[in-house]
Amino acid sequence: MPLHSRLRAALLLAAAFVLSVLPVGAQASAAPQPAAETATPSALTPAALREVVDTVAQRIQDHYYDLERGRELADALRGENRRGAFDSYRAPRDLASALSERLKPHDGHFRVVWRAPTTAAGTATAGAGPRLRRGPDAGAIDYARRRNHGLRRVELLPGNLGYVDLREFAEIDFDDPLAPARRALDAALAFVADCDALIVDLRDNGGGAPSAVGYLASAFVTPGADVYNRFRWRDGDTVRSSSEAPKIAYPAPRTELPLYVLTSSRTASAAEAFTYTLRNVDRAVVVGETSAGAANPGGERDAGAGFSVFVADGSPVSPITGGNWEGRGVVPDVPVPQHEALRTAQILALEAVLARGLPGANADDARWALEALRAAQSKAQADAYDPSYLGDYGRIRIERDRERLALRNGKRPLQPLTRLQADLYCLGDDPSVRVRFERDGAGRIAALQLQRPDGSAQRYAR
């Protein structure tokens, strides 16, 4: 028997032995099982469906920040339920979607979700409608840690611009000196501590906690300034108030740092609060699209049978405007499509930095970065590929990369070039390095120089 056949036979015998000594239940569990969430949920009975809708209405009546408005919304929902408006939505997820669409026009935070009961977060207390908590059960995900407390990316962009991509404002426990969310924000701000301007990207930020909003805002405003939103919270049949002002402010605020906030129609809730607060006091330039217009914070309330409803039990009021952004959104200072917001903000930031003045070659470094950004948007890039530049220049080689010129420096990765003007390019990912081509008396390319803002240069003959 060939060797591979003997090996295959031995493996089959070993597998058969393992299965023979396992209990029947263990053999069955060895096969992969579909996740509970992917299973097709059972259709709701008409009685169960109407009970869910009535429970959602009750949670709104019990917890919506505006007592009178909450009662009106609940009564309207009950009336529609009695008339059979939702009877056709027998699948749980369909019912959740239908209820969300019905409620959202009244408050941007309303949202009904369904989770398979085996993985639904939290447990219900009859009649109490508690906020749902995601405990340490098998179906829970530690979103705060796994998503780095909302911080997706922190980096330094060309021209010494700081960039923070923040996807969520994570809850900060100010009584904990090692609160992870606060430490994460501190680390991000420390990374960009020496930048000349900062861009905070909230285009994909759907909200979060007021504690983080206040803390991050305190990194850019005068200590003690009365700029923070105040909240009116419903607590049963009573109302209490609080402020977004942080219990502990950021210790080293940069009150003169040019600041730019990027927004989109996805920017919502706490992300809007941060934007609204800083825009109201002319502390940030908002670039992008009008935000979602969801001002009122709250939490999920259990509605039974795997359903929950997010109910806003608070409403912010700005001490500057006396109102908020509910239903209207925060209108940007510089309206551009969201995909153009970052480049636009970079250009604005570099212009502002140069207008303020920078010492010596620092100004040239910022100016070179600005010129590269402008060039990348110009029609000059259509003429960027010129085959006359191709060839070897000592250890430097100019190659073709698709429809662009690219520079290869020894064993380093290939670096595409951005055209600035005739015979002048810069590295596509590092505008502080320019490539100037030299021509001889006959107009032929004879050499290139690698130039830097500090005036240094290296020359390589062809």
- List, for residues 422-462, the tens digit of each pLDDT value: 999 999 989 999 999 999 999 999 999 999 999 999 999 99
CA angle 286, 290, 291 (to 5 degrees): 95
At the topology level, CATH places domain 144-303+311-352 in 2-enoyl-CoA Hydratase; Chain A, domain 1 (3.90.226)
**How far from 450 is each of 373, 374, 426, 453, CA to CA, in Å?**
19, 21, 9, 11
User: What are the pLDDT digits (tens) for 135-155?
Assistant: 444 456 788 889 999 999 999
Q: Is the pLDDT of residue 349 over 90?
A: yes
> How far is residue 317 CA from its own chain's centroid?
24
- Count CB neighbours of 36 within 10 A: 14
Evaluated on CA atoms 425, 427, 429, 432, the torsion sign reads negative
Confidence of residue 15 (pLDDT cuts 50, 70, 90): very low
Confidence of residue 127 (pLDDT cuts 50, 70, 90): very low
Q: How far apart are CA 51 and CA 57, in angstroms?
A: 10
**How far from 285 is each of 163, 250, 334, CA to CA, in Å?**
14, 21, 8
Evaluated on CA atoms 224, 230, 236, 237, the torsion sign reads positive
> Mean pLDDT in the chain?
88
Confidence of residue 365 (pLDDT cuts 50, 70, 90): very high
Written as six digits, the tokens of 51 are 């009970």
User: What are the pLDDT digits (tens) for 168-186?
Assistant: 999 999 999 999 999 999 9
Place of tokens 């305190």: 218
Q: How far apart are CA 184 and CA 174, in angstroms?
A: 14
Confidence of residue 207 (pLDDT cuts 50, 70, 90): very high
Span 379-398, average pLDDT: 83
User: What are the pLDDT digits (tens) for 294-323?
Assistant: 999 999 999 999 999 999 999 999 999 999
Q: Which of 344, 456, 319, 371 is nearest to 159 (CA)?
A: 371
Say what the pLDDT of residue 270 is.
95
Say what the pLDDT of residue 138 is.
47
Q: What phi-psi label fits residue 135: left (phi over 0), alpha (psi between -120 and 50 degrees) or beta?
A: beta
Span 234-253, average pLDDT: 92
Contact predicate 245/269, CB 8 Å: no
Say what the pLDDT of residue 118 is.
61
Q: How far apart are CA 325 and CA 297, in angstroms?
A: 12
- Count CB neighbours of 312 within 10 A: 25
Instruction: Give percent of the chain above pLDDT 90.
Output: 77
Q: How far apart are CA 168 and CA 144, in angstroms?
A: 9
Instruction: Give percent of the chain above pLDDT 70.
Output: 85
- The amino acid that residue 94 corresponds to is D
Please provide the size of the chain in residues: 462
Q: Is the pLDDT of residue 268 over 80?
A: yes
Q: Is the pLDDT of residue 385 over 80?
A: no
Confidence of residue 133 (pLDDT cuts 50, 70, 90): very low
CATH 2.40.128.50 domain extents, the chain? 381-461
pTM of the model: 0.83
Q: Is the pLDDT of residue 130 over 50?
A: no
CATH 3.90.226.10 domain extents, the chain? 144-303+311-352
Q: How far apart are CA 446 and CA 158, in angstroms?
A: 30
Confidence of residue 236 (pLDDT cuts 50, 70, 90): confident
Architecture of domain 381-461 in this structure: Beta Barrel (2.40)
Q: Is the pLDDT of residue 208 over 90?
A: yes
Say what the pLDDT of residue 117 is.
74
Written as six digits, the tokens of 441 are 């008396």
Edge-to-edge order in the sheet of strand 230-235: 238-243, 230-235, 314-317
Contact predicate 407/384, CB 8 Å: no
Q: pLDDT higher for 147 or 18?
A: 147
